[in-house]
Amino acid sequence: MRILQLCKKFPYPLKDGESIAITCVAKALHELGCSVDLLAMNTHKHWVDTNSLPGHFNHYTRMETLGVDNRIKPFNAFCNLFGHQSYHIERFVDPHFATALERLLQQHQYDVVQLETLYLAPYIPVIRKHSIALVAMRAHNVEHEIWERIAANSAPLKRWYLQRITPRLKAYEVAQLNQYDLMVGITRRDVDHFKALGMHIPATVTPIGVDSRTHQPDDSSFDRPLSLSFIGSLDWMPNIEGLRWFLYQVWVPLIAPRHPELTFHIAGRNTPAWLKRLQLPRVVVHGEVDQAADFINQHSVMVVPLLSGGGMRAKVLEGMALRKVVLSTPMGMEGIEATHQQECLIATSPAEFADAINWCVAHNNALAELGIQGQHFCAQHYDNLETARELLDVYTSMGRKPVLA
């Protein structure tokens, strides 16, 4: 089967959930015998030198990138208040990208064009005009819901602005729901939500998968003094929002004074200036790290304090695959049906987070076993090859005659 994957950013390095989700499914589909091509925007914010990719990034039959300037421009953002289009979406509309897509579709026959996130939906007319391929929307989350949650937790001026432009994103997302041939949701909850919004096309759930062969747990972290970690893209607003909440609502008032032996380590790309200047007791800001797995392996507890966002957190699965104890909000565990104190720890309020960390301190000898249970759960329910095989079965059953690779 020949598949064209469209992305709004180049899916490397694997330091954020979107890149991990895109790369994992592409690798698995390739391993299952598919020919997978990639057309990706190479944006200013996430620019990648594709000439310096590692040798193991070899799962694409064909890769093409196009520079797209989708930076937020204050004048355009202001003017958008008086228009009708979604500013979230129009930043990803680029005529040169459309031309590149048209050329690929004319030169190659595809069975499936897989859109990675809603932001590729503006290119559906180009696909319909130049291809008979099945159009699959791989929705990493419910986009408008993320922005509604961000708006609710933002400062007054930002909340005012987001509350005026986010309804347009919702209107666009709802209007596109039945323009695809197939909805591929990351979680069952997201698919059900789309149905409630009026979606009646075929849909399937394909969670983010983990290749356990590439994860090498280091259990020595459980033999060292307990330490906590956070890792995630630090230019993604839900991560910043949750991290700031954890620092000032949990760590400073409830944990640091009671547990002078504990340290909290923060890593992530595009670390903001305020975080680099942070001077809080026993909080270490590492910035971007070379290997996420090495950083995760150094600490026995991974903290995921998400208050907004949507879809699945790939870093949660990565932490579980590395046998670490994941301490998360219910939002952070969305799409991952793990059970509190069986495969992970779940907390909602500052007091619950403090109780969970106090439990970790008091039961340090039980943390390794909790990590093992999380790893087994992850391997059983989120194996990358199995999730991709189920998606491939759905593609095959949709009735399109396969194109020979």
Q: Is residue 270 part of a domain?
A: yes
User: Using CA atoms, how far apart are residues 184 and 177, in angstroms rounded to an integer?
Assistant: 11
For residue 337, pLDDT beyond 70: yes
Secondary structure (DSSP) of 245-305: HIIIIIIIIIITTT-TT--EEEE-SS--HHHHT---TTEEEEES-S-HHHHHHT-SEEEE-
Q: What is the CATH number of the domain that holds 186?
A: 3.40.50.2000
Same domain, 257 and 165: no
How far does CA 19 lie from the centroid of its chain? 7
User: Using CA atoms, how far apart are residues 266 and 303, in angstroms rounded to an integer?
Assistant: 10
For residue 296, pLDDT beyond 80: yes
Q: Is residue 142 part of a domain?
A: yes
* Polymer length in residues for the chain: 405
For residue 172, pLDDT beyond 90: yes
Same domain, 47 and 170: yes
Q: Is residue 403 part of a domain?
A: no
Given the structure tokens 């699945």, which residue do they identify? 312
- Note the pLDDT tens digit of each residue in 234-270: 988 889 999 999 999 999 999 999 999 999 999 998 8
For residue 353, pLDDT beyond 80: yes
117 Ramachandran zone, left/alpha/beta (phi>0; psi -120 to 50): left
User: Using CA atoms, how far apart are residues 355 and 57, in angstroms rounded to an integer?
Assistant: 42
Q: Which two tokens stand for residue 205?
A: 């759930």
Same domain, 197 and 218: no
Band of residue 184 on the pLDDT scale cut at 50, 70, 90 = very high
Same domain, 196 and 134: yes
Same domain, 156 and 171: yes
Q: Is residue 351 part of a domain?
A: yes
Residues 6+ away with beta carbon under 8 Å from 336: 207, 312, 313, 316, 317, 382
What does the longest C-alpha to C-alpha distance in the chain come to? 65
> Could you tell me the residue range of the domain that residue 304 belongs to?
213-381
Order across the sheet with 2-7: list the strands: 62-68, 35-43, 2-7, 112-116, 134-139, 182-185, 203-205
Buried-state track 202-218, b at ≥16 Cβ within 10 A, e below 16:
ebbbbbbbbebeebebe
Q: Is residue 32 part of a domain?
A: yes
Residues 6+ away with beta carbon under 8 Å from 99: none
Same domain, 371 and 247: yes
Radius of gyration of the chain (CA): 21
Same domain, 54 and 127: yes
Band of residue 13 on the pLDDT scale cut at 50, 70, 90 = confident
Same domain, 239 and 204: no
Query: For the chain, what is the domain count?
Result: 2
Q: Is residue 402 part of a domain?
A: no
Same domain, 47 and 190: yes
- Note the pLDDT tens digit of each residue in 83-115: 889 999 999 999 999 999 999 999 999 999 999
Same domain, 231 and 368: yes
Same domain, 199 and 295: no
Contact 295, 267 (CB under 8 A): yes
* pLDDT recorded at residue 308: 78
* pLDDT recorded at residue 402: 41
Q: Is residue 405 part of a domain?
A: no
For residue 309, pLDDT beyond 90: no
Q: Is residue 101 part of a domain?
A: yes
- Note the pLDDT tens digit of each residue in 202-231: 999 999 988 877 888 888 888 888 999 999
CA distances from 22 to 140, 215, 329 (A): 10, 18, 24
51-60, 64-73, 243-252: which is most confident: 243-252
Given the structure tokens 């565990």, which residue do they identify? 333
Cis previous bond, 217, omega within 30: no
Same domain, 158 and 230: no
Model confidence, pTM: 0.85
Is 331 in a helix, a strand, or coil?
A: coil
- Average pLDDT over the chain, rounded to whole? 92
